[in-house]
Amino acid sequence: MSDDLVFLYERSAKIYPRAVDGRFQRLRKAAVFWLLGMYYAFPWFNWDGRQMVLFDLPARKFYVFGWVVWPQDFIFLAAFLVACALSLFFFTALAGRLWCGYACPQTVWTEVFLWIEHHTEGDRNARMRLDKEPMSWRKFRIKASKQALWIGVALWTGFTFVGFFTPIRELALDFPMQWDLTRWFWTLFYGAATYGNAAYLREQVCKYMCPYARFQSAMLDRNSLIISYDETRGEPRGARRRQVPDRAQRLATGSAPSAAELGDCIDCKACVLVCPTGIDIRKGLQYECIGCAACIDACDEVMDKVGYPRGLVRYSTENAIQGKPTHILRPRVIIYALVLLTLGASVLLGVMLKKPLIVDVIRDRGALYRFASDGQVENAYQVKLIHKRETAATFQLRVLTPGLQLIAPANIAVEPGEVRNVAVTLRQPEDEAKGAKDVVIEVIDLGDASVRVQETTRFFGPT
């Protein structure tokens, strides 16, 4: 092979993160249990006799904790998504990649797959040894059990995903003979995506596929809380045989550090070995850092062992690390918070004032007007009633414009959540029905006088 040959693509080496325990890892575990618990359990719970969270696409209705989201309410859904994006900006400006470290689905499922790997193959060194070993019955058995667990979790994840769009109990009862192609496709597709991303792609998704990793630096500033290595305390780094006094002790005793004296970093590389993206936090903030805080726990463990104070790697700000004051309340944080609060309040208000009944009056497109057998002018309409309450109701229609007669069913019984089209006719004597005029049709709920909707439409007669 020629010496001049340059490869533009370098195959990345497999990362074997070492398991670590500590306060932040316990917090992450709690987040994983809580988030995945919600994901796997929610479709199995009922609320008001219906699946608690169900996105019923054919009926174009979403059921979320007893709240029915109709197509007309999708503005709230859009506002909710905007609020999520703003929260991401807000928390990133305030505390860096909290989302990536604790709540991102990629992180959460990768964590589960790593636990499975750890429990079947062992910790870092055991995994590395196993991968180097030639295939044997033992290796095959270990790898097969890991794969079986991974595939099981991935398929259950795919099944649950479909269970958010089709009643999950029905889905389980219909399995497998009554499953159509759509159910199979989405279960296998989402299962395969989970398997591929959490078992193999892992940090590659964060490094190369996630756009957030690229633009998050634009949201950070010197006052954002990030995971940082305290260079002033840690350097010059180096291995040592015996405990040397830390900087605080040196200052307390008044002894000046000698040129040969080392900082607190013993260069054990524990922070690197636990990193799921394989980076060295001591090189400073890097876009590959997902903010998992594993390096903090690993370094704290090392500091405890060598008898130095914890926090050589810690949550801090660039200003604080350099001994400058940190400002939490900054213009960008205040602006994000204000926009977020305004949006949240508007959505809340909108939900509270949400109309339980929507009325749409549609004119019959077939004819502008017609003459009834008694000579009166008639216009025909379809009145669409969208009853958004979860209880049955009876409605009555009437026309509020004087001189017009409304012909419609006397009482219209509507089931909870039903959309009903009612054929309606308006009549007027020919000598009064000249030209076009606005008319108002009112719909009232006979069981609840506060539900009363008026709609304006046009009535046409001969000119």
Pairing type for strands 61-64 and 53-56 reads antiparallel
How far is it, in rounded angstroms, from Cα 199 to Cα 117? 9
* Least distance to ligand SF4, CB of residue 15, Å: 10
Sign, CA dihedral 308-312-316-319, equals positive
Closer Cβ to ligand SF4, 167 or 311, answer by number: 311
Site size toward ligand SF4 (CB under 6 A) is: 30
- For ligand SF4, the closer of residues 54 and 296 by Cβ is 296
Residues 262-296: b if buried by 16+ CB within 10 A, e if exposed: bbbbbebebbbbbbbbbbebbeebebebbbbbbbb
127 vs 207, beta carbon nearer ligand SF4: 207
Q: Which stretch binds ligand SF4 (CB under 6 A): 29-37, 284-292, 406-414, 455-463?
A: 284-292
Task: Decide: is 108 part of the binding site for ligand SF4 (CB under 6 A).
Answer: no
CA distance 165 to 163: 5
Helix axes 105-121, 137-163, angle to 10 degrees: 150
Coil, strand, or helix at residue 424?
strand
Answer yes or no whether residue 98 interacts with ligand SF4 by CB under 6 A: no
CA 32/CA 38 separation, integer angstroms: 10
Contact segment (CB under 6 A) with ligand SF4 among 128-136, 292-300, 411-419, 420-428 equals: 292-300
Three-state secondary structure call for residue 319:
helix
Q: Can you tell me which of 112, 162, 244, 302 binds ligand SF4, judged by CB under 6 A?
A: 302
With residue 131 as reference, give the H or E element that holds it: helix 124-132
Q: How far is the CB of 57 from ligand SF4 (least distance, A)?
A: 37
Shortest reach from residue 160's CB to ligand SF4, in Å: 28
Query: Closest distance between ligand SF4 and the C-beta of residue 159, in Å?
Result: 31
Q: Quote the least distance from Cβ 124 to ligand SF4, whole Å.
A: 13
CB of 109 to ligand SF4, least distance (A): 16
Q: Where are the alpha helices (DSSP H) in 316-370?
A: 318-321, 331-352
Among residues 53, 68, 290, 426, the one that binds ligand SF4 under rule CB under 6 A:
290
In the bound complex, what is the minimum distance in angstroms from residue 234's beta carbon to ligand SF4?
A: 6
Positions 213 through 272 that interact with ligand SF4 (CB under 6 A):
227, 229, 234, 237, 265-271
Instruction: Provide the minimum distance between the beta carbon of 34 and ligand SF4 in the complex, in angstroms, as a whole number.
Output: 20
- In this structure, the dihedral spanned by the alpha carbons of residues 171, 172, 174 and 178, taken in order and rounded to 10 degrees, is 70
The CB-of-263 to ligand SF4 minimum distance in angstroms stands at: 9
Render the burial of 232-255: b for 16+ CB within 10 Å, e for the rest.
Answer: ebbeebeeeeeebebbeeeeeeee
By CB under 6 A, name the one of 93, 154, 292, 439 that touches ligand SF4: 292
Residue 205 CB, nearest approach to ligand SF4 (Å): 13
Q: Which is nearer to ligand SF4, 92 or 166 (CB)?
A: 92
CB 357 within 8 A of CB 437: no
Is residue 383 a contact point for ligand SF4 (CB under 6 A)?
Answer: no
Which residue, 111 or 445, has its beta carbon nearer to ligand SF4?
Answer: 111
| Binding of residue 312 to ligand SF4 (CB under 6 A) | yes
Task: Tell me the window of 63-71, 127-135, 282-290, 362-370 that interacts with ligand SF4 (CB under 6 A).
Answer: 282-290
Q: Are strands 226-229 and 357-363 parallel, antiparallel or unpaired?
A: unpaired
State the Cα–Cα distance between residues 300 and 279, nearest whole angstrom: 18
Minimum distance, C-beta of residue 36 to ligand SF4, in the bound complex (Å): 20
Residue 84 CA to residue 67 CA, distance in Å, equals 19
Residue 382, helix vs strand vs coil: strand
Inter-residue contact 274 to 297 (CB < 8 Å): yes
Structure tokens at 57: 């696409």
Closer residue to ligand SF4, CB minimum distance, 271 or 357:
271
Please report, as residue ranges, which positions from 132 to 171 form the binding site for ligand SF4 (by CB under 6 A).
none
**357-363 and 393-399 beta bridge pairing:** unpaired
First to last CA, the chain: 92
Q: Which is nearer to ligand SF4, 274 or 397 (CB)?
A: 274
Give me the sign of the Cα torsion angle 69, 71, 72, 77.
positive
Task: Verify binding: residue 277, ligand SF4, rule CB under 6 A.
Answer: yes
Tokens 């792609």 correspond to 201
Give the one residue of 98, 162, 313, 397 binding ligand SF4; rule: CB under 6 A: 313
CB 100 within 8 A of CB 291: yes
Indicate the residue among 163 and 291 with the shorter CB distance to ligand SF4. Answer: 291
Could you tell me the smallest distance in angstroms from the CB atom of residue 153 to ligand SF4? 23
237/330 with CB nearer ligand SF4: 237
In three-state secondary structure terms, 55 is: strand
Which positions lie near ligand SF4, rule CB under 6 A?
A: 227, 229, 234, 237, 265-271, 274-277, 279, 281-282, 289-295, 298-299, 302, 312-313
